[in-house]
Chains A and B, each alone.
Chain A
Amino acid sequence: MQWPLALTTPLLLAGEPSRGHRAAWAVACGALVGVIAFVDYVTGYELNLSILYLATVCLATWMLGRTAGIVFSLAAVAAWLVVDIFTSHGYTHWFYRYWEMVIRIVTWLGFALLLDRLKTALAHADERFVTVLARLDAAVYVADSESGALLYMNHHCEEAFGRGLTNVREIERRWHAAGAAYRPLSAGAGGPQQELQDSVSGRWYLLAARAIRWIDGRPVGLYIATDVTDRKRTEELARRQEERLEMTSRLTTLGEMASTLAHEINQPLTAIASYCMGCVRRLRSGEWKREDLLDALQKCAAQAERAGGIIQRVREYLRKRDPAPTACDVNALIASVTGMIEAEAARRGARVRLALDPQVPAILADRIMIEQVLLNLAKNGLEAMQHTPAGAREITIATTSDERNLVSVEVSDCGSGLPPQLRENLFVPFFTTKPEGMGMGLNICRSIVERHGGRLTAAPDPGGGTRMRFTLPAARP
């Protein structure tokens, strides 16, 4: 790979010399002119050093600029002319002396101007690459493969990791500290791109590394770290959105499933009841035919099987989603659904308060299922506060643990509380107080909690509302 010219022409990177340096160079050039003139004068052109004036002109132009180049061209011509006159260099005609003078001055001026143009072009070319590198939305740095010494850092790199770094290990330490597995560049290989987080700024980078040879031939690593924080953030947002959608659809699906189930089971049950009562009536009246009753009873059995088939289907569906318990932090789990609960709370003019005990042990649970329980309880709590004054609407989610290794999660509301009659029926399937409710929510919640080895209970909250509480066993370390 051919990397920027800027890296291969370090001389040009030195920039303009300082005032002191300029003076020194001017004096040196002047002295050189003097020395050449003197030697030529003393030796009477035997050594013929006048060709060296060109070196003076070039040096002056390169180091001091075009004006200096022109001045030294003129000075050199003057020196040459004086020495030429005083050494009585023989010309067949005086005209030829001035002819030679003109040739010399044109040549030297030509070199001076050419060199000046060359320098400007080179400087511009360099500037372009420096600008590109600086504006590049990526941190670029080059480090010695063995010592790790930083040989080059672009502007972005200095801004991201700080000026004055000398060793690549300082950057690598930041990758390591963020917890991601950073794989150092192995000798002579590029290796795949890595997504790493900077432990200091918290920003994410996509790091591409490649082994190349430096200008002087030693093996170095070239690193390009592209800032992908924004992209990651967008991805994260999209992921959360998707989760939320999935959660909502899962809750709806459950409700729909219960509704369909109720409807489907109703059909065979109604048929069975009708056949049975038809038989009863016929037997009572004494007017019956054996084959009629037999037929009806057989159809009854078939309908019972049909109902059984429906239940079997539900069982299979549930089996497919048996809980997959993993050790998880219940506080983190609550935090992950708080956003959704808060959105719903805001819609209903309520606040969500978290009272999480940071010391609770990890629980063994199916994350998704417990999230569903939480969502359900929170939704119930919010709905119970319909008639609570707007300022007082608050639900509290609290976690505690006890010495029996049980973690409790409580969802309390400030609603009107549960009348005793309602409390008795709370977990009865299809019992509901909501006009569009199915009466399955709490029942499902309780079966989920019980499948996790916990219990779901309801109690009046001292503050007047209801406190739903479920326990889950802590994961054994």
Chain B
Amino acid sequence: MTGTARTGPVYVVDDDDALRDALRFLLESAGYSAETFAEAEQFLAVPRLAPGSCIILDVRMPGMSGIELQHELARRGSILPIIFLTAHGDVPMAVTAVKQGAFDFIEKPFEDERLLRLVDEALKLDAAARERRARQLTAVARLDTLTPREREVLDCVVAGKLNKRTAEELGISIKTVEAHRAKLMQKLHVDSTAQLVRLVIDGHSAR
């Protein structure tokens, strides 16, 4: 099978038994794992959604509708990408859903290529989002280990100031600045100034 080393499962929420089963079959054929749910409430009962996954959701369902489920997930802080399945005439509803943050929608009956491409994109998006998030958290954690003096030196480095200038501003010798600089690069696990700057940006965007 293609793409074997994929991340978390694709969650499918659809009230139609056959459609649910067929989707699982198709997704598994493409190397994804799938978890299926017949109704929104059942899906909401899942204690922890796996990271790096996405949700395929039928717009029209008895009980809680797809749109309502989307709202509920957003309320719970989920960032999983949602792909809506729509039927003829549901397009305006689907457009609203996308405006409110759904990843995309696809009209039934659909081409498998298109659905799988959407799933792939959604998973990539989610993976990228998670990676970014992880990077940000790491940056914050590492920045927190710096001493106040090291912090001051870091700010000057990021501002593009030379060691001499930094030493003048902080009232310390150039040697001391160089020592702080070496220490903080070590603490932050970076080898170059470029890496250092990126880590600081990550750390800032996480706050």
Contacts and interface: CB of A to CB of B under 8 A. Distances in A.
Interface of A: 259, 262-263, 266-275, 277-279, 281-282, 285, 287, 292, 296, 299, 302-303, 306, 430, 438
B19 interface: yes
B61 interface: no
B18 A277 contact: no
27 contacts: A259-B89, A263-B87, A263-B88, A267-B18, A270-B22, A270-B110, A271-B19, A271-B21, A273-B112, A274-B19, A274-B23, A275-B22, A275-B25, A278-B25, A278-B26, A281-B1, A281-B30, A285-B1, A285-B2, A285-B29, A287-B1, A292-B25, A299-B18, A299-B22, A299-B25, A303-B18, A303-B22
A440 B110 CA distance: 22
A278 B109 contact: no
A262 B60 CA distance: 14
Contact of B88 (A259, A277, A292): A259
B16 interface: yes
A71 B13 CA distance: 115
B35 interface: no
A271 B88 CA distance: 16
Contacts of A271: 16, 18-19, 21-22
Given A270-B22, A285-B1, A287-B1, A278 B29 contact: yes
Interface in B1-46: 1-2, 16, 18-19, 21-23, 25-26, 28-30
B117 to A, nearest CB: 13
B108 interface: yes
Contacts of A285: 1-2, 29
A8 B21 CA distance: 94
Interface in B82-124: 87-89, 108-112
Contact of B19 (A262, A267, A438): A267
B101 to A, nearest CB: 25
The 9 closest A-B pairs by CB, nearest first: A277-B112, A274-B22, A278-B29, A271-B22, A281-B29, A278-B26, A270-B109, A274-B26, A278-B25
B25 A296 contact: yes
Given A267-B19, A299-B21, A279 B29 contact: yes
Of A269, A281, A296, A306, chain B has the most CB atoms within 10 Å of the CB of: A281
Contacts of A269: 108-109
A11 to B, nearest CB: 86
A273 B26 CA distance: 9
Given A263-B87, A299-B22, 15 more contacts: A263-B89, A267-B19, A267-B108, A269-B109, A270-B109, A273-B109, A274-B23, A274-B26, A275-B22, A278-B25, A278-B29, A281-B1, A285-B2, A292-B25, A299-B21
Of A274, A278, A302, chain B has the most CB atoms within 10 Å of the CB of: A274
Interface of B: 1-2, 16, 18-19, 21-23, 25-26, 28-30, 60, 87-89, 108-112
A349 to B, nearest CB: 28
A306 B29 CA distance: 24
B110 A262 contact: no
A303 B25 CA distance: 14
Contacts of B1: 281-282, 285, 287
Of B18, B23, B30, B88, chain A has the most CB atoms within 10 Å of the CB of: B18
A282 B16 CA distance: 24
Nearest to B19: A271
A307 to B, nearest CB: 10
Looking at chain B's contact residues, the main secondary structure is loop
Contacts of B87: 262-263, 266
A229 B107 CA distance: 59
Nearest to B113: A277
B54 to A, nearest CB: 17
Of B21, B26, B28, B108, chain A has the most CB atoms within 10 Å of the CB of: B26
Contact of A306 (B18, B26, B112): B18
B28 A268 contact: no
A281 B1 CA distance: 8
Nearest to A302: B18
Given A262-B87, A271-B21, A277 B26 contact: yes
Contacts of A287: 1
Contacts of A430: 88
Contacts of A268: 18
A299 B21 CA distance: 9
A422 B21 CA distance: 39
A273 B16 CA distance: 15
A254 to B, nearest CB: 15
A241 B23 CA distance: 50
Nearest to A264: B87
A430 B28 CA distance: 33
A306 B112 CA distance: 21
B109 A266 contact: yes
A272 B29 contact: no
Given A266-B108, A285-B1, A287-B1, A272 B88 contact: no
Nearest to B21: A299
B138 to A, nearest CB: 37
B88 A266 contact: yes
Nearest to B89: A259
A88 to B, nearest CB: 127
B34 to A, nearest CB: 11
B29 A277 contact: yes
A300 to B, nearest CB: 8
A430 B111 CA distance: 19
B197 to A, nearest CB: 44
A200 B56 CA distance: 75
A268 B87 CA distance: 12
Nearest to B107: A266
Contacts of B22: 270-275, 278, 299, 303
B88 A274 contact: no
A346 B3 CA distance: 63
